[in-house]
Amino acid sequence: MITLKVNGTSYQVSSDPSTPLLWVLRDELGLTGTKYGCGVEICAACTVWIDGSPEKSCDENVGSCAGKSITTIEGLSPLAGGATHPVQLAWIESQVPQCGYCQSGMIMAVAALLKGNKKPTDAQIDSALSNICACGTYPRVRAAIHKMIGV
């Protein structure tokens, strides 16, 4: 049994320790907001926070996550299931998502960026966000961030 702390709740997980965290979140814990896109650390759809920093959950063995604090999109807003985090509010205001599939990972990456850098430059935004959005929401992602940081 592996003890996982996800969004403030402790879970006992019986999965093989080599299982990527992504699939434990989705299939064992039912936290399907975190998405699978490539499985090989390219697309960032699976981005969650591990001990506060953005990580690609398709490449984290669940065994190595024991005891660490994991935050998923479902836990981003202080209100469980809510959408009140400033990035979420900005995303609604700017109507960023299209299909929305990449947006959990995108939002987790943006929220992590803004935690550590209140006013990122465009170059910093570009390098922090490696997320693939096949729908092409990048102009709105940038516009929403700009609005948030007053650029």
List contacts with other proteins (CB under 8 A).
15-16, 19-20, 22-24, 26-28, 30-40, 42-43, 45, 72-74, 76-77, 81-83, 88, 91-92, 95-104, 107, 125-127, 129-142
Of the residues 21, 45, 113, 128, which one makes contact with ligand FES according to CB under 6 A: 45
Question: Interface with ligand FES by CB under 6 A: which range of 38-46, 70-78, 81-89, 112-120?
Answer: 38-46
Binding to ligand FES by residue 50, rule CB under 6 A?
no
> Residue ranges of the alpha helices (H) in 24-149?
86-93, 103-116, 122-128, 138-149
Name the burial class of residue 140, with classes exposed (0-12), middle (13-18) and buried (19+) by CB atoms within 10 angstroms of its CB.
middle
Closer to ligand FES at the Cβ: 44 or 118? 44
5's contact among ligand FES, other proteins, none, with CB below 5 to 8 A by partner kind, is: none
Query: What span, in angstroms and rounded, lies between the C-alpha atoms of 106 and 131?
Result: 6
46's contact among ligand FES, other proteins, none, with CB below 5 to 8 A by partner kind, is: ligand FES
Query: What span, in angstroms and rounded, lies between the C-alpha atoms of 86 and 53?
Result: 18
Query: What span, in angstroms and rounded, lies between the C-alpha atoms of 124 and 63?
Result: 32
User: Cβ 36 to ligand FES, closest distance in Å?
Assistant: 5
Binding to ligand FES by residue 92, rule CB under 6 A?
no
Q: How far is CA 106 from the centre of its chain?
A: 6
Q: Name the CA radius of gyration of the chain, rounded.
A: 15
Q: What angle do CA 90, 39, 100 make, to 5 degrees?
A: 25
What residues make contact with ligand FES under the rule CB under 6 A? 36-39, 41-46, 56, 58, 97-103, 133-135, 137
